[in-house]
């Protein structure tokens, strides 16, 4: 097949795609033109309800401590946190450099993803939790959804095996586990199955710790 024929085929494909896009836009414009004042008022009311609902969610999230990265002082408080919030990222840490690197990125993500609660807990001061969740390597992130640990990020193995990973790389990893709502270019990651490093899917019941 010579070059001119290839170019002709490509041009035809481009025209076909352009025509399909144009037809789709025409359909949407015609749909808008058919709306009367009553329809527009209904759309406006629906939009206002959506905005009000989102404002109520944000207010509730903030009241629960979302939007900031905070430390859980006791093991019992961990259970209260995971029961109160649908999505929780909990950093099991100790006072060393790798954990401080993780702290830096989590502090940024906590502000960007108000839909998720970001917390940390000292692993050596939380022996029951560390044993129950089989936390050995630090830092470890326990990714909790609906009071169940669904996934883990253990050390930096999934982040390029280096402490120089970017906040965006960690964000994408959390999005794969669907513990955050990712609205960036890689939001398609949400539709992919999480790359499981889960050792167990633990239903966290505070009665176990008593």
Average pLDDT of the residues in 182-202: 46
pLDDT score of 181 more than 60: yes
Confidence at 14, pLDDT banded by 50, 70, 90: low
pLDDT at 139: 97
Classify strands 69-71 and 117-122 as parallel, antiparallel or unpaired: parallel
Domain enclosing residue 118, as ranges: 67-177
Please indicate, yes or no, whether residues 173 and 84 belong to a single structural domain of this protein: yes
Please indicate, yes or no, whether residues 78 and 115 belong to a single structural domain of this protein: yes
Is 204 within 8 Å of 82 (Cβ atoms)? yes
Looking at residue 194, the DSSP 8-state letter turns out to be P
Please indicate, yes or no, whether residues 53 and 104 belong to a single structural domain of this protein: no
Please indicate, yes or no, whether residues 125 and 153 belong to a single structural domain of this protein: yes
Q: Cα torsion for 198, 203, 206, 207, to the nearest 10°? A: -120
Query: What is the count of structural domains for the chain?
Result: 2
Report if residue 202 sits inside a domain: no
Report if residue 167 sits inside a domain: yes
Confidence at 12, pLDDT banded by 50, 70, 90: low
> Which H/E stretch holds residue 73?
none
Classify strands 140-145 and 87-93 as parallel, antiparallel or unpaired: antiparallel
Q: pTM here?
A: 0.70
Give the pLDDT confidence of 77-101 residue by residue, as tens digits: 999 999 999 999 999 999 999 999 9
The percent of residues above 70 in pLDDT, for the chain, comes to 75
Backbone angles phi, psi at 184, to 5 degrees: -90, -165
Please indicate, yes or no, whether residues 111 and 163 belong to a single structural domain of this protein: yes
């Amino acid at each position: 097949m010579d070059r001119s024929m290839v170019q002709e085929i490509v041009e035809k494909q481009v025209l076909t795609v352009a025509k399909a896009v144009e037809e789709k836009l025409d359909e949407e414009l015609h749909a808008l033109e058919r709306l009367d004042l009553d329809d527009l008022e209904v759309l406006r009311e629906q939009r206002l309800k959506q905005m009000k609902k989102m404002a109520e969610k944000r207010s509730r999230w903030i009241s629960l401590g979302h939007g900031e990265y905070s430390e859980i002082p006791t093991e019992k408080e961990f259970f209260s946190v995971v029961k109160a919030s649908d999505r929780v990222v909990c950093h099991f840490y100790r006072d060393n450099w790798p954990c401080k690197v993780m702290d830096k990125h989590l502090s940024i993500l906590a502000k960007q993803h108000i839909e998720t609660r970001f917390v940390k807990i000292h692993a050596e001061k939380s022996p029951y939790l560390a044993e129950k969740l089989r936390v050995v390597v630090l830092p470890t992130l326990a990714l909790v959804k609906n009071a169940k640990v669904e996934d883990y990020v253990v050390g930096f193995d999934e982040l390029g095996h280096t402490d120089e990973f970017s906040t965006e790389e960690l964000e994408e990893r959390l999005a794969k586990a669907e513990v955050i709502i990712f609205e960036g270019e890689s939001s398609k990651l949400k539709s992919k199955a999480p790359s499981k490093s889960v050792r167990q899917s633990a239903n966290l019941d505070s009665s176990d710790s008593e």
